[in-house]
Structure 1
Amino acid sequence: MPHSKSLKLLFFSMLIKTLICNTPHFAAGASHFSVQALKKEITMEIYISIILASLLIIPFALKTFSPYVWMDIVYFGDLVRILVKFVARRRRRPLFFVLDRFLEQTEAHPDKTFIVFENESYTYACTDKRSNKIANALQSHAGYKGGDTVALFMGNEPAFLFTWLALAKLGSPVALLNHNIRTKSLLHCFNCSKAKVLIAAAELKEAVEDVLPSLIEQGVTVLLMSKHSDTPGIQSFSDEVEEASDDPIPRSFRSHITFKSPAVYIYTSGTTGLPKAAVVNQNRILTALAVLSSNGVVSSDVFYLNLPLYHTAGFAVGFIGTIETGSTIILKRKFSASQFWDDCRKHNVTVIQYIGEVMRYLCCAPKKDNDKDHKVRLAIGNGIRAEIWKEFLNRFGNIQIREFYASTEGNVGFLNYVGKIGAIGRVHFFHRKLFPYTLVKYDTERDEPVRDANGLCIESRKGEPGLLVSKITNLAPFAGYAQNEEQTERKRLRNVLKKGDLYFNTGDLMRIDKDNFIYFQDRVGDTFRWKGENVATTEVSDILTICDCLKEANVYGVQVPGHEGRIGMAAVTPKKEVQFDGRKIYNHVVSCLPSYARPRFIRIQSAVEVTGTFKQMKVKLVEEGFDPGRIQDPLYILDDNAKSYVPLTAQIYHAIISGSTKL
Structure 2
Amino acid sequence: MRALQRIASELAYLRGSLRILRRTSPIARNPTYTIGDLMRDAAKRHGDRVALISDRETLTFRDYDGRANRYARWARAQGIGKGDVVALLMPNRPDYLCIWLGVARIGGVTALINTNLTGQGLAHCVAIVQARIVIVAEELLPAWRGAAPFVPGAPELWLHGGGGDGRRVDEAIASFSDADLSPEEKAKLTVEDRCVFIYTSGTTGLPKAANINHYRIMAMTLGFSALMDTGPGDRMYDCLPMYHSNGGVLATCGTLCQGGSVVIRERFSARDFWADIVRHDCTLFFYIGELCRYLVNTPPGPDDRRHRIRLVCGNGLRPDIWNEFSSRFGIRHIREFYAATEGNVALFNLDSRPGAVGRIPKWAERRFVVKVVKFDVEKEEPVRGPDGFCVECQAGEVGEIVGQILNDPRKPTNRFEGYADRAATQRKILRDAFEKGDAWFRSGDLMRRDADGYFYFVDRIGDTFRWKGENVATSEVAETISVFPGVAHCTVYGVRLDGYEGRAGMAAIVMDDATPLDPDALRAHLKRQLPDYARPLFLRIRSSLDMTGTFKQRKVELVKEGCDPSLLADPIYVDHPAQGRYVPLDRDLYRALQAGTVRL
Same fold (TM over 0.5): yes
Q: Percent identity?
A: 34
In the alignment, does 2:281 pair up with 1:343? Answer: no
Q: Distance in 2 between matches of 1:204 and 1:64?
A: 54
Match for residue 299 of structure 1?
232
Q: Distance in 2 between matches of 1:267 and 1:567?
A: 25
Within 5 Å, give how 1:325-340 maps onto structure 2. Answer: 325-340=258-273
1:604–1:633 CA contact under 8 A, matched in 2 = no
1:263–1:285 CA contact under 8 A, matched in 2 = yes
Q: Distance in 1 between matches of 2:157 and 2:228?
A: 40
Shift of 1:256: 3.1
1:271–1:527 CA contact under 8 A, matched in 2 = no
Within 5 Å, give how 1:261-276 maps onto structure 2. Answer: 261-269=193-201, 273-276=205-208
Q: Which runs of 5 or more structure 1 residues have no equivalent in the other structure?
A: 1-62, 529-555, 573-589, 609-620, 636-663
Instruction: Decide whether aligned partners of structure 1 residues 398 and 322 sit closer, same or farther in structure 2, where only a CA change above 3 A counts.
Output: closer
- Between the two proteins, the alignment pairs up a number of residues equal to 509
TM-score normalised by the chain length of structure 1: 0.70
Q: Distance in 1 between matches of 2:2 and 2:496?
A: 54
Shift of 1:140: 2.1
Instruction: Decide whether aligned partners of structure 1 residues 120 and 219 sit closer, same or farther in structure 2, where only a CA change above 3 A counts.
Output: closer
Shift of 1:149: 1.1
Shift of 1:235: 3.0
Instruction: Decide whether aligned partners of structure 1 residues 277 and 111 sit closer, same or farther in structure 2, where only a CA change above 3 A counts.
Output: same
Q: Distance in 2 between matches of 1:622 and 1:312?
A: 40
Match for residue 186 of structure 1?
122
Computed over aligned residues only, the root mean square deviation of the Cα atoms, in angstroms, reads 3.4
Within 5 Å, give how 1:50-65 maps onto structure 2. Answer: 65=3
- Find the partner of 1:378 among 311, 314, 330: 311
Q: Distance in 2 between matches of 1:196 and 1:272?
A: 28
In the alignment, does 2:404 pair up with 1:471? Answer: yes
Match for residue 157 of structure 2?
222
In the alignment, does 2:297 pair up with 1:368? Answer: no
Shift of 1:442: 0.7
Deviation by residue 1:183-212 (Cα, 9 ceiling, x = unmatched): 111111111212111111111111111133
2:311–2:331 CA contact under 8 A, matched in 1 = no
Match for residue 416 of structure 1?
349
Deviation by residue 1:135-194 (Cα, 9 ceiling, x = unmatched): 2233223x6456521111111111211111211222111110001101111111111212
Within 5 Å, give how 1:341-490 maps onto structure 2. Answer: 341-474=274-407, 475=411, 476-482=414-420, 484-490=421-427
Q: Distance in 2 between matches of 1:266 and 1:473?
A: 22
Match for residue 25 of structure 2?
87
Structure showing greater Rg: 1
Instruction: Decide whether aligned partners of structure 1 residues 491 and 158 sit closer, same or farther in structure 2, where only a CA change above 3 A counts.
Output: same
Q: Distance in 1 between matches of 2:496 and 2:448?
A: 32
Q: Counterpart of 1:392 in structure 2: which amino acid?
A: F
Instruction: Decide whether aligned partners of structure 1 residues 257 and 403 sit closer, same or farther in structure 2, where only a CA change above 3 A counts.
Output: same
Match for residue 93 of structure 2?
157
Q: Counterpart of 1:444 in structure 2: which amino acid?
A: V
Q: Distance in 2 between matches of 1:471 and 1:384?
A: 26
In the alignment, does 2:137 pair up with 1:201? Answer: yes
1:293–1:325 CA contact under 8 A, matched in 2 = no
Instruction: Decide whether aligned partners of structure 1 residues 146 and 571 sit closer, same or farther in structure 2, where only a CA change above 3 A counts.
Output: same
Q: Distance in 2 between matches of 1:144 and 1:285?
A: 20
Q: Counterpart of 2:416 in structure 1: which amino acid?
A: F
Match for residue 182 of structure 2?
250
2:80–2:108 CA contact under 8 A, matched in 1 = no
Q: Distance in 2 between matches of 1:568 and 1:265?
A: 31
Structure with the bigger RCO (C-alpha within 8 Å, sep 6+) is: 2
Deviation by residue 1:571-622 (Cα, 9 ceiling, x = unmatched): 99xxxxxxxxxxxxxxxxx99x9896484694476999xxxxxxxxxxxx99
Q: Which runs of 5 or more structure 2 residues have no equivalent in the other structure?
A: 466-474, 498-544, 568-572, 577-581, 591-600
1:149–1:197 CA contact under 8 A, matched in 2 = yes
Range with bigger deviation, 67-76 or 298-307: 67-76
Q: Distance in 2 between matches of 1:490 and 1:521?
A: 22
Q: Secondary structure at the match of 2:228?
A: coil
Within 5 Å, give how 1:523-602 maps onto structure 2. Answer: 523-525=460-462, 559=478, 561=482, 562=487, 566=491, 597=554, 599=557, 602=561
TM-score normalised by the chain length of structure 2: 0.77
Deviation by residue 1:454-506 (Cα, 9 ceiling, x = unmatched): 11111111111111011111321111110x22221111111222232211111
Q: Distance in 2 between matches of 1:418 and 1:203?
A: 42
